[in-house]
Structure 1
């Protein structure tokens, strides 16, 4: 039986959703409450979005506001308090014919897993053991406490959610980097010059990066400054350079997916708009034993200089 086709969105449910939004309840909390009551997740999301769209259309002068500014409301997280951004073209591996392998120019890469929504692809054999070791050794002398982009100012800042050590390479600064960057550009069909420089991160036991989005929040005052260099981020590629003993996976909480940090493998995910509807929320789970090394490549809309 198709559960979704037998679940009706009633007036009582719509009234309850509006009440939760007006009370400033987080979208995830409302969604979890509906799922706990037996609602199919897709039906619940459709109900939230259609209800809030209709409510806001009927009251254009009084949009729903959260009661606590630090906690986005259902309306804000579902994109109904403001116009949802228009989607843009994003990188995309050649997976239309469900291949087991892809030609990345100088290397045959394995397709291990592919998800459409969110767009997540897990690749194997993306880097050789020698390339993993070389990236770690080139990065090690330049490590410092990792910073995050400060979207309020356009600069960088320390963030308690990110407890790794890291560094950035300039794009193309060595033969090793040029080879890997060309491989990634070929693999996901995106111009090499649209990529940021590779970032290498080291996570020791207990280190993590709590769930976050990689795109730049359009509502933050520093975002226009950031976007002058290449536009928005539209995709991420995470490369696993070693294997922690336990923990350290890449998590996608919206779809309850965890990608294991297997040496030489990588995970690609894209997001065609700066909005939670992309379901691109992700994080680095705590390392429970050993240490984890990864390299991250962010891809922009346009040339990044």
Structure 2
């Protein structure tokens, strides 16, 4: 007699997925309990498909589109991917959709920046580059840290015409107000430079969190735009899911996180640059108006 997945088992499978457990670990746990592999796989697929349908129905009831997930009673930034489009119109140009992933929520875009925009951003940023700093959760300030060996700088929102144009494109593509984002940050990684795996959200349990969050609430999304293509190395890595995004000039990678928790599986880093330089522009999106 074929084994059937009970409601309790389906609920358990969904709970493991929401906790960030790897599918192979869930499968092994089921097989250890006596489930045949093909039946266990079918049960996982059925459970997740039913859960996805329920989520989509719930989003529709809230007036949200696929790709917009609630943070409490608020949506997350994200592109409109209903119908799995290969291209999206974003304010002033078409942007290609190259890859999508559900957990973590990752979307890779092609043709996001033009060659001219990449060069202009590099030129404007170069004269203000300094050793990059990381946030100090204990105080809410920042410091130079050996985990981050790039040079960087921040633009004010709309500081230059090219910044304003890119910010409007981000607003249209990710359906998130320009006011709810930090200024564009440009980073240059020389050979050997890297950014070790980390999370972009702020840990609310840290003493400095109150100061950081007062400026616009929690970070809820990140867009990394590649301003050049290094000769070798420099991928954006997501270690929890074994994903590497190649740094190709004009492309961008977006990921969102609905809560400040490792279960979002948004641990990511910048792999060491092995040959040449790597230039990126990063946009962090906040829950509220960033001041």
Name the TM tier (shorter chain): 0.7 to 0.9
Cα RMSD between the aligned structures?
2.2
> Residue 156 in 1 paired to residue 142 in 2?
yes
Q: TM (normalized to structure 2)?
A: 0.77
Per-residue deviation at 1:121? 0.2
Contact 1:86–1:273 at 8 Å: present in 2 too?
Answer: no
Q: In the alignment, what sits opposite 2:274?
A: 288
Structure 1 counterpart of 2:110, from 124, 129, 142: 124
Matched, 1:301 2:287: yes
1:89 Cα shift? 2.5
* Preserved CA contact (<8 Å) 1:199 1:296: yes
Q: What's the offset of the Cα at 1:114?
A: 0.5
What's 1:114 paired with?
100
Which residue of 101, 119, 123 corresponds with 2:87?
A: 101
Which of 37, 41, 46 is residue 25 of structure 2 equivalent to? 41
Residue 194 in structure 1 maps to residue 156 in structure 2: no
Q: CA offsets per residue over residues 116-142 of structure 1, 9 Å max, x none? A: 111000000000000000000000000
Distance (Å, rounded) in 1 between the aligned partners of 2:257 and 2:73: 8
Give every structure 1 segment of 4 or more consecutive aligned residues whose post-TM-superposition deviation is greater than 3 Å: 42-46, 85-88
Structure 2 unaligned runs (5+)?
A: 10-18, 31-70
Structure 1 unaligned residues grouped into runs of 5+:
10-26, 47-84
Equivalent in the alignment of 1:224: 210
How many residues are matched? 235
In structure 1, the residue matched to 2:51 is none
**2:243 alignment partner in structure 1:** 257
Residues in 1 aligned to 2:283 and 2:148: alpha-carbon distance in whole angstroms: 17
1:153-192 to 2 correspondences below 5 Å = 153-192=139-178
Per the normalisation by structure 1, the TM-score is 0.73
Q: Out of 172, 189, 205, which is 2:191 matched to?
A: 205
> 1:193 touches 1:303 (CA, 8 Å); kept in 2?
yes
